[in-house]
């Protein structure tokens, strides 16, 4: 969980917190690039942002990172799902199924 805290419905705070996570990821992964800018989604009824990034894989080739962020009163919750870019479509449904199991307390 990241340090940002705020109202789950505060879109600007969610955008800022998501940008900070992306910046932190890019600092430790200089080749990481945003491939699909943040799109709104709902995770267990909570507003969130879905962002896709790509990076050079340590195993060679490219990998796709799916970043999902949700702002909670306790802080920013984020999930990073990653797979080889060439095989990402094989993992997409599994990643979505995993995220569908997320439950937040009210």
Q: Which domains can be identified in the chain, with CATH numbers?
A: 11-100 (3.40.1000.10)
On whether the CB atoms of residues 24 and 34 are closer than 8 A, the answer is no
On whether the CB atoms of residues 57 and 84 are closer than 8 A, the answer is yes
Model pTM score: 0.89
pLDDT at 1: 43
* Cα Rg of the chain, angstroms: 14
As averages over each run of 10 residues, the pLDDT of the chain (106 residues) reads 60 92 96 95 95 95 97 93 96 97 89
């Amino acid at each position: 969980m990241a340090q940002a805290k705020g109202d789950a419905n505060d879109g600007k705070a969610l955008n800022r917190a998501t940008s900070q996570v992306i910046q932190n990821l890019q600092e430790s992964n200089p080749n990481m690039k945003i491939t699909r800018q943040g799109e709104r989604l709902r995770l267990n009824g909570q507003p969130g942002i879905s962002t896709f990034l790509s990076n050079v894989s340590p195993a060679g080739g490219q990998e796709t990172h799916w970043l999902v962020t949700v702002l909670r009163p306790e802080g920013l919750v984020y999930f990073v799902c990653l797979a080889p870019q060439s095989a990402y479509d094989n993992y997409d449904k599994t990643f979505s199924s995993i995220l569908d199991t997320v439950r937040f307390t009210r």
